[in-house]
Amino acid sequence: MRNKHLHLIAGATIAAFAGLAVAQTSPTPSASPSPSTSPSAFTKLDADKNGMVSKKEASRNKDLASKWDTLDTNKDGNLDQGEFAAFETPAATGTTPKY
């Protein structure tokens, strides 16, 4: 009888820890990104798919092109995703981006 109880306790303990492990590794649901912060905006402008938006690619978006000199902080002639994120943040640019 004692062995039966030990098996039940051991099984319950393993199940509890397995549930805890799953809870820690499962991704938390998050709200869908709004269109202004969607990675697809960057991807859409990155026509040559090199992971950067060039000045030529940015020229397709007049708001982005007009803020180019401010956004290209490292002055390499391209916007990486970090630099582009500043364009997508209305507080940083004072406007809401239009794609």
Q: Which CATH number fits domain 35-93: 3.20.20.480, 1.10.10.60, 1.10.238.10, 3.40.228.10?
A: 1.10.238.10
Question: Between 4 and 63, where is the model more confident?
Answer: 63
| pLDDT tens readout for residues 29-78 | 444 444 444 557 899 999 999 999 999 999 999 999 999 999 999 999 99
Ramachandran assignment for 77, one of left (phi > 0), alpha (psi -120 to 50 degrees), beta (any other): left
Domain positions in the chain: 35-93
pLDDT at 29: 47
| Number of other CB atoms surrounding residue 79 within 10 Å | 27
Does residue 18 surpass a pLDDT of 80?
no
pLDDT at 40: 77
Q: What pTM value is reported for the model?
A: 0.53
pLDDT at 90: 67
pLDDT at 32: 43
